[in-house]
Structure 1
Amino acid sequence: MTLKKAYLLVFLVLLVDQVSKLYIKTHFVLGEEIKVFEWFRIHFIENEGMAWGTKIPGDYGKLFLTLFRIVAVFGIGYWLWDSVRKHSSSYLIVSIALILAGAFGNIIDSVFYGVLFNDSYHSASTLFSDQPYGSWFHGKVVDMLYFPIWKGNLPEWLPFVGGKYFTFFNAIFNIADMAISTGVGILIVFNKKAFGTDKKEESTEEVAA
């Protein structure tokens, strides 16, 4: 897989991610939900950018997280470039491109959204608002995809959680998160193929030799 195609994949994922976030942010009030199907809903929430809405404590926790993500993106970007240069498997290149796009998508929220939007508590937010809700590097990540596939009380015989009300699954996420999860999933499921060499590239080099 060429670097041009990998960058195109990154761009397309990033475009879909940001368009969906901009639409939700400018058309939904925080907490608003639309039921598409019983098992799929659009539910607008915001978080600090960590999994399950986790926060790093302290005044500089959010700043540290954002800066760490930026450094990580440069590292992932180099990994993508180096993998293409070494003619690594297309499985690996696609997975890295998806992870890079996802990480970059959430970084855009963290870096810019705090100064681009006002808050979404009472009405849909305004882009380029003169009353932004935050500051540079302190924006909140927009999430909206919710798949409550099953809800109900767990069987009493289950240890620790028996009889408790449970939702599968209760995470709310965005396109960037999906891209990261898909990329990691490819690396796990297709581990041997991902870290092998691209046979097509090898055959091309052999013909050229």
Structure 2
Amino acid sequence: MKAAYTKPFLTAAFIVLLDQIVKIWVRQHMFLGEEIHFLGNRGMLRYTENNGMAFGMELGGELGKLALTLFRIVAVCGIGYGLVHLIKHKYHRGLVMMVALILAGAVGNIIDSVFYGIMFQNQPLFHGRVVDMFYFPLIEGHFPLWFPIWGGEEFIFFRPIFNLADSAISVGVILILFNQKRYFKHEQLEESSPNSEMVED
């Protein structure tokens, strides 16, 4: 039974470690806003920091930042508990690994939020900024003039700048959504089985 817990948690720990290695490398070798292109203008490292959620989304003000960090901590505890529950009840291995990815991503960004403020950013505990660096502006252009609201304005796909932790969360969530029938077959079978015998008249 112990082996069932080893692989998911080791996978999560490896992703957290790799995420932190990349973030610290970026902090030590790049200045804020610097770009290192590896796919021309379609793929690059761009060093940014944000106060908020995945892909640079934010909650306003210092109170919002603190609330988000505390929410992340509670969420990680819940995800960790859920992962143990899935393993204990022998859910689909794919589902277990996807939840492990989500856990790893959440932990990776929590480390930034909780500790980076004190370590690097001259901020108090729980007020650190999350380090992002991957940027893939694959398509750039302008909306047609007839397009509602944004007509004539510039558009970029894919605009968000993200980190490895964000990627782990996104991959985990997307694959769970795409594989719901396969991952939750165990649960559906239990629900469809009779709880009691039919009593004949």
- Specify if TM > 0.5: yes
Alpha carbons 1:111, 1:137 under 8 Å: kept: yes
User: Which runs of 5 or more residues in structure 2 are unaligned?
Assistant: 188-201
What SS does the corresponding residue of 1:162 show, helix, strand or coil?
A: coil
Residues 1:50 and 2:53 aligned together: yes
Q: How far off its partner does 1:79 sit?
A: 0.3
One-letter code aligned to 1:161:
W
Residues 1:25 and 2:27 aligned together: yes
Q: How far off its partner does 1:27 sit?
A: 1.1
Alpha carbons 1:49, 1:106 under 8 Å: kept: no
Identity, % of aligned pairs?
Answer: 47
One-letter code aligned to 1:150:
I
Highest RCO, 1 vs 2 (Cα 8 Å, sep ≥ 6): 1
Q: How many residues align?
A: 184
Q: Deviations over 1:45-64 (max 9, x none)?
A: 00013245343334422111
- In 1, Cα distance between equivalents of 2:43 and 2:57: 23
Give TM-score, length-normalised by structure 1: 0.83
- In 2, Cα distance between equivalents of 1:62 and 1:157: 39
Alpha carbons 2:94, 2:183 under 8 Å: kept: yes
Corresponding residue of 2:133: 144
- In 2, Cα distance between equivalents of 1:167 and 1:58: 27
Alpha carbons 2:56, 2:160 under 8 Å: kept: no
Give TM-score, length-normalised by structure 2: 0.86
One-letter code aligned to 1:116:
M
Q: How does 1:78-89 map to 2 (within 5 A)?
A: 78-89=81-92
User: Which runs of 5 or more residues in structure 1 are unaligned?
Assistant: 119-132, 199-209
Q: How far off its partner does 1:98 sit?
A: 0.4
Q: How does 1:1-209 map to 2 (within 5 A)?
A: 2-38=4-40, 39-118=42-121, 133-197=122-186
